[in-house]
């Protein structure tokens, strides 16, 4: 089975103090660290596990400037065979992005395409299905289980409240992958170094025959949420705060 996985590099903002640039068009990125999008990491792992079981190839692709290449190298180290980067700034419009990605995928041999269910920075959750529709192939979003049959795949889709639904889906198909589908393997620095010899192709939009695409969605501005109601903060040293909290809980009768 030949599989293509589309991956994105995202800033790690869960623990960071996030500020918006003066332009209002982006966040200040200089002090942030970046990683592969969490959902995409599960997608790469899934592709590699399928390859290990059924043979075939795994190709990882991304759209972004040179400094996103490390997530491709990381995916190669996990076991992907080949990587492709389309050299341009990450388009803020998912429709534009989907056009570029489908142009890349169209030229490859594949049975299955995997996307993340969403990107951790913009959480649009839209790009994969846009691409599937542009390619004219069957899709399933939010897939959390894959079982390969003959010419089709039994895919489990995550619904709300812990419920899943299963579809039988004809290949070629595109799935967007939900977290928890597998246990992504550990990637060592030496593994990344060893994977350096694997092919990484760089394409430009004009290589793909893509001129300018009119965006469907345009950012007006980014801003910090207005300060809302906040918790009453319990201050002091760890010991003091713990003691105060314990006595509040006792006072309220919850202990």
Partner 1 sequence: MAVFVFIEHREGKLMDISFEALSAAQKLNDEVIAVLSGENVGDLAEKVVKYADKVIVVDDPKIDTNNEAYTRVLDELIKKEMPKVVIMGHTSMGMDIAPAVAIDLGLPIATDVVKISKDGNIKVTRSIHNGKVLADYYLKDAETYIITIRTGEFSAEELSEKNGKIERVDSPLKEEITNKKFVGFVQPEVGGVDITQADILVSVGRGIKDKENIPLVEELAKIMGGVLSCSRPIVDYGWLPKERQVGTSGKTVKPKLYLALGISGAFQHVAGMKGANMIVAVNKDPKAPIFSVAQYGIVDDVLKVIPALTQKIKEIKG
Ligand X SMILES: Nc1ncnc2c1ncn2[C@@H]1O[C@H](COP(=O)(O)O)[C@@H](O)[C@H]1O
Ligand Y SMILES: Cc1cc2nc3c(=O)[nH]c(=O)nc-3n(C[C@H](O)[C@H](O)[C@H](O)COP(=O)(O)OP(=O)(O)OC[C@H]3O[C@@H](n4cnc5c(N)ncnc54)[C@H](O)[C@@H]3O)c2cc1C
* Residues of the shown chain interacting with ligand X in the complex, contacts defined by CB under 6 A: 6-8, 37, 39-40, 62-64, 90, 94, 97, 101, 115-116, 118-119, 122-128
What is the Cα 113 distance to its own chain's centre? 13
Residue whose CB is nearest to ligand X in the complex, by number: 116
**Contact call for residue 255 and ligand Y (CB under 6 A):** no
**Contact call for residue 216 and partner 1 (CB under 8 A):** yes
The two structure tokens encoding residue 203 = 């394409």
**Site for ligand Y, residues 15 to 54, rule: CB under 6 A:** 15
- The smaller minimum CB distance to partner 1, of residues 55 and 235, is found at 235
CB 63, CB 101: distance < 8 Å: yes
Q: Is 3 helix (H, G, I), strand (E, B) or coil?
A: strand
**Contact call for residue 34 and partner 1 (CB under 8 A):** no
Choosing from 67, 89, 150, 232, the residue that interacts with partner 1 (CB under 8 A) is: 232
**Contact call for residue 245 and partner 1 (CB under 8 A):** yes
Mask of contacts with ligand Y, 103-142, x by CB under 6 A?
--------------xx------------------------
What is the pairing mode between strands 34-36 and 9-11? antiparallel
Residue 172: asked if its preceding bond is cis (omega within 30°), the reply is yes
**Contact call for residue 150 and partner 1 (CB under 8 A):** no
Q: How far apart are the C-alpha atoms of 5 and 180, rounded to whole Å?
A: 17
**Contact call for residue 220 and ligand Y (CB under 6 A):** no
CB 248, CB 50: distance < 8 Å: no
**Contact call for residue 14 and ligand Y (CB under 6 A):** yes
**Nearest partner of 62 among 137, 129, 115, judged by Cα:** 115
Report the nearest approach of partner 1 to the CB of residue 202 (Å): 28
Report the nearest approach of ligand X to the CB of residue 110 (Å): 14
Q: How far apart are the C-alpha atoms of 250 and 237, rounded to whole Å?
A: 20
Neighbours of 164 (CB within 10 A): 14
Choosing from 49, 75, 96, 138, the residue that interacts with partner 1 (CB under 8 A) is: 138
């Amino acid at each position: 089975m030949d599989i293509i996985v589309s991956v994105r590099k995202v800033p790690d903002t869960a623990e960071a103090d996030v500020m918006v640039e003066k332009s209002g068009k982006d966040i200040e990125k200089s002090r942030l660290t970046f990683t592969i999008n969490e959902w995409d990491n599960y997608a790469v792992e899934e592709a590699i596990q399928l390859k290990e079981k059924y043979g075939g190839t795994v190709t990882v692709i991304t759209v972004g400037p040179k400094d996103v290449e490390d997530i491709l190298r990381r995916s190669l180290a996990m076991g992907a065979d080949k990587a492709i980067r389309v050299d341009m700034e990450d388009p803020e419009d998912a429709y534009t992005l989907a056009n570029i990605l489908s142009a890349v995928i169209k030229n490859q041999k594949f049975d299955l395409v995997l996307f993340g269910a969403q990107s951790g920075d913009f959480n649009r959750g839209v790009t994969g299905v846009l691409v599937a529709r542009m390619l004219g192939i069957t899709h399933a979003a939010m897939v959390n289980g894959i079982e390969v049959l003959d010419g089709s795949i039994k895919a489990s889709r995550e619904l709300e409240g812990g419920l899943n639904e299963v579809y039988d889906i004809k290949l070629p198909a595109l799935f967007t992958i939900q977290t928890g589908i597998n246990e992504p393997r550990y990637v060592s620095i030496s593994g990344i170094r060893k994977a350096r010899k694997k092919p990484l192709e760089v394409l430009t939009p004009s290589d793909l025959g893509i001129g300018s695409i009119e965006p469907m969605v345009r950012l007006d501005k980014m801003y910090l949420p207005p300060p809302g109601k906040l918790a009453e903060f319990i201050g002091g040293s760890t010991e003091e705060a713990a003691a105060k909290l314990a006595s509040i809980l006792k006072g309220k009768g919850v202990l």
